[in-house]
Structure 1
């Protein structure tokens, strides 16, 4: 049956389970929507993570149900936008009747797998037509509430728009063909192990995750930390999920909020105990502005260039940044 949208509530957030016609639901679970974001959940998050804002969107391909936390709240993407840039490049290649070129791959790899910024992102952003090109791609994905920006990480969006992109880029139901979706999955499922946090939190054994995280501070908005992608069991069914936050005083603080929401979603939609993750064996430290990569790397007993590479590739450490050794604990 179709779940009814609750009446407008005088609370800090809207927690909305919907049955939406994005994709055909599987007959076994069609019309059965779970209670992913129960009443009071938003208030609990607000109490546990003061001064931070959060919004989330989930689409379960098995039931056809969509779940939204703080629906309509627009935040900036930080590096979550890079999943959309990848999608736009894949659509461009598909429209030209070709696969990805070596030039494109040489920029996609550091952008997605290490979350490096320029020149990789700026090159690809221009390659797909800049803001107008991203707007055209968004229309093909079905995104409705995104304001793209030449300062790509300052793009304003909703979690629902990011989830539409992840759903159609990694699972199906949109303009991107199977070959392009397989390319997207390969890149987003092979991000560096130290960056495999986010929507992977709480996911049990037997499930696979493809994701792109974002983590960067912005004046007036604190640390903006988010995660988008798809969690699947076997080769098909699963759920697309995006969690966006801002207002954190550090990257780790934002990560904790993202993963709190992600664990809640996994506990309801995936079930079972959480599987061990490679990222949980990462050796990391909190950096401060004014530090050198050499000083930060010394604390994790690693090469400075390697620490910088797996920590986003910024020229110098950021205040509150999580910086990691590329080598995991055994």
Structure 2
């Protein structure tokens, strides 16, 4: 999977494994013959040009084809589904694919991962563990998606200003914190960055903080084990946080979001799906899970 520059084609912003637009493949790497010297009359047999692409070039071409196939499939699904965006991050390489990566969505409860990260940063800065009360609130916030616990921790981290400062340290460039924390606006690109902070050895979160956050996300209540986890295969592990909210400003239609990490033999991938405009919670869950599975089918992670 090779990270390429962002492409903005047909209104779709993508970052990733070599981003592609559904209209076709834009060349990122030189063709097999590009840069190859042509032997002149005096050149001997040893000066013959390579006969084809290198293994690295073939691998890059395969990745580009997979991205193109995924973008085409997502474009087709987007014609019949409410608005959505998706990002996929390969945690082994740091490469990211994003479909409509710059579009902002209200977070609903996925912001709770962000609040937890801010809490852990504060504790690190003070060179201490979470207090017993903070840990209990964090457990309720992530495992049970408890809103009262979240509001309490939102106050602990400094409300809007404190969370915004933490986000700057975490590298979230497009997330706009709202005083009503569930209405914070974010992008799948920022969610890929945050999930990456939970997976990477380098970065502002130390090993203990990352272990705690992923441990809580890996033990959410049974009724909340949906969303990006639908892309996991038997034997793989998933750490997730979902968000769901009917919006009065959208005629009672639903925001359905899901972010998480899937690990297993040869797999360490984070996926974020943000969406809104669903007629019911169940319909939104079905859409998020379909998008998650499409990423695995076409990127073959």
1:241/1:7 CA distance change after superposition, 3 Å: closer
Structure 1 residue 267 and structure 2 residue 267: aligned? no
Aligned counterpart, 2:220: 191
User: SS state of the match for residue 40, structure 1?
Assistant: helix
Q: Is there any run of 5+ residues in structure 1 with no aligned partner, and where? A: 21-27, 272-330
Are the counterparts in 1 of residues 8 and 14 from structure 2 also a CA contact under 8 Å?
no
Are the counterparts in 1 of residues 70 and 298 from structure 2 also a CA contact under 8 Å?
no
Distance 1:46 1:19 in 2: 21
1:270/1:93 CA distance change after superposition, 3 Å: farther
User: SS state of the match for residue 48, structure 1?
Assistant: coil
- Of Structure 1 and Structure 2, the greater helix share is in 2
Structure 1 position 254, deviation (Å): 1.1
Distance 1:191 1:6 in 2: 34
Aligned counterpart, 2:9: 9
Distance 2:244 2:200 in 1: 25
Structure 1 residue 40 and structure 2 residue 72: aligned? yes
Superposed CA RMSD in Å reads 2.6
Distance 1:232 1:269 in 2: 16
1:7/1:267 CA distance change after superposition, 3 Å: closer
Q: Is there any run of 5+ residues in structure 2 with no aligned partner, and where? A: 20-54
Aligned counterpart, 2:256: 225
Aligned counterpart, 2:29: none
Aligned counterpart, 2:99: 69
TM-score (norm 1): 0.72
Distance 2:147 2:216 in 1: 16
Q: Give the alignment of 1:138-217 within 5 angstroms.
A: 138-217=167-246
Bigger CA radius of gyration:
2
User: SS state of the match for residue 173, structure 2?
Assistant: coil
Aligned counterpart, 1:241: 271
Structure 1 position 268, deviation (Å): 4.4
Structure 1 position 61, deviation (Å): 2.1
Cα shift readout 1:215-267 (whole Å, capped 9, x = no counterpart): 01122232111011211125x95112110000111111111111011111233
